[in-house]
Amino acid sequence: MKKIAVILGTRPEIIKMAPVIRALEGRNMCYFLLHTGQHYSYTMDEIFFRNLELPQPKYNLGIGSSSHGVQTGKMLMEIERVLREENPDIALAEGDTNTVVASALVASKLPVKFGHVEAGLRSDDRAMPEEINRIIADHISDYLFAPTETAKDNLLKEGILEDKIFVTGNTIVDAVYQNLEIARRRASSQWQAGEEYFLVTLHRAENTDDAERLERVLRGLNKIQEKYKVSIVYPIHPRTLKMIKEYNLENLMESIEVIEPLGYLDFLLLESKAKLILTDSGGVQEESCVLGVPCVTLRDNTERPETLEVGSNILAGTEPARMLESVDEMLKARRDWEIPFGDGKSGERIVRLILKVERNRF
């Protein structure tokens, strides 16, 4: 039986790899979890794994936040140490973080076969560190698990061999369905939603570390609240709150209902009941599409163009007038769009493909 290393570093990766982990568990396969601890403390993530009813990682590297170079360098050393010790046949990682690019680099040089889950996403904006990570990981992967045909086309255009690419659907669909069921059982309901609200998430450095963009977004949210007279609920990250204070923008927060950051299960329920979501998160764009909630993306581009194509999402940028127009448009849109990310069986499909391809090699 093949030994598989599942490498994780951030909470979005844990969420999206959960269906793969559950598929490995269901088949009683030989695998282990390696958590780099890219952002969060061991204690917080230990609870997170428990809440999602997942096994705890065998390894937690505790890398923590740092500059890209320092963080990636530490990961290269520590991931290599573990993979040499465990000697897995295959390593899997998901997404576009430093954990992913470090895992791909280590695996390619040991060598251990590397599978990139959610391969082929492109924003065509190389100013984004995530875009560089995606491209590097894709070009040194042995297995590219593309969520959609669009993602596959991106890979083919870059000269990647077709026999390495597998269109599997996106594990976010599996994750939303599986975790929403868990949420209904286990969420703590720290915040009780009113009858009607718009949900906001804002965390990308391009928005929060640019005083002018951040001010425009907050002014846009005020205009939206003034017109629609609904609660604008914002579970704010401490770092974003710090930047708002640093830029002296607290006066623009008065009409926004700021709440403490929520756990994932509570946040998923909050998403599912929102009238509309405004976000700069790629994962939230996908989740809102799956949940049937209209989305307004506060960015100038997206690596999830499928959400635009089916009509679940619109790019608004950060100009207040355009934000307001986008909310108007999405509130009038039909909510019966087709989910473009698959049937909710992507995790099982990825595991089956690994078994099939490896069996055919020998």
Q: Tens of pLDDT along the chain (362 residues)?
A: 689 999 999 988 999 999 999 999 999 999 999 999 987 666 667 788 988 999 999 999 999 888 889 999 999 999 999 999 999 999 999 999 999 999 999 999 998 999 999 999 998 888 888 999 999 999 999 999 999 999 999 999 999 999 999 999 999 999 999 999 998 887 665 555 557 999 999 988 889 999 999 999 999 999 999 999 999 999 998 889 999 999 999 999 999 999 988 888 989 999 999 999 999 998 999 999 999 999 999 999 998 999 999 999 999 999 999 999 999 999 999 999 999 999 999 999 999 999 988 777 64
CA distances from 215 to 198, 219, 234, 242 (A): 19, 6, 15, 14
Q: Residues with Cβ < 8 Å from 306, sequence gap 6 or more? A: 148, 150, 289, 340, 341
**Residue 180 three-state SS:** helix
Q: Could you give the CA distance from residue 172 to residue 182 in angstroms, rounded to a whole number? A: 15
The overall longest dimension of the chain from CA atoms, in Å, is 66
Catalytic residues: 203
Q: Which two tokens stand for residue 201?
A: 């998430």
| Category of 120 on φ-ψ map: left (φ > 0), alpha (ψ -120 to 50) or beta | left
pTM over 0.95: no
Map out the domains of the chain with their CATH numbers.
3-170+342-361 (3.40.50.2000), 184-332 (3.40.50.2000)
Tokens of 25: 């568990």
Token digits for 175? 């994750």
The two beta strands, 276-279 and 59-60, are: unpaired
Burial class (CB in 10 A: 0-12, 13-18, 19+), 124: exposed
